[in-house]
Copies of this chain bind each other. A is one copy, B any other.
Amino acid sequence: MSRENGAQISLGTLLFIAQRAFEEEIVANLHAQGFEFSLSQGRLAARIAENGSRLTDLASAAGITKQSAGYLVSQLEAAGLVQRQDDPQDARAQLITLTELGRRAQLAARQAESAIEAAWQEHLGEESIAMLRRQLEALRPLVDRHQPRN
């Protein structure tokens, strides 16, 4: 993990730089639109499925403990972005779903993402970004133990 050794920057560092830039840009964009949430809350909310997600699944997808996920969901709930519902399938479980406000936030986030991708395409070319996406998608099954069933 070193920087600047014969111009070989670690792949991990490169991923880190791109990832953080992407994430911070979205948060800044949504904040500017009046949506209030933290980075961690956003990471969790980004993983809520259309039809609702269980807390444990969210935790697993986000790579945090279910305790941490519960803490973040409570905050998102207080902010009016998500709601907890009983899972009709399993009385132990909850379904975390987006509220109307949450859905608006999600839409705004998608637009922000598209804007970032467009900006990146403008500098690197459409082909490069498509390729970047393709490599990362190919990497995912190797690396992401939690595959969402969608």
Contact = CB atoms under 8 A, between A and B. Distances in A.
A92 interface: no
14 contacts: A1-B26, A3-B148, A3-B150, A8-B133, A10-B113, A11-B132, A11-B133, A12-B22, A12-B46, A13-B47, A14-B136, A15-B136, A17-B144, A123-B138
A49 B4 contact: yes
A33 B55 CA distance: 34
Nearest to A63: B20
Interface string A108-147: 0110010011011001100011011101111110111000
| Dominant secondary structure of chain A at its interface with chain B | helix
A109 B1 CA distance: 6
Contact of A22 (B11, B113, B119): B11
Contacts of A48: 2
A84 interface: no
Contacts of A61: 3
Contact of A17 (B20, B45, B143): B143
A43 B124 CA distance: 27
B11 A136 contact: yes
Given A1-B109, A50-B4, A120-B142, A43 B14 contact: no
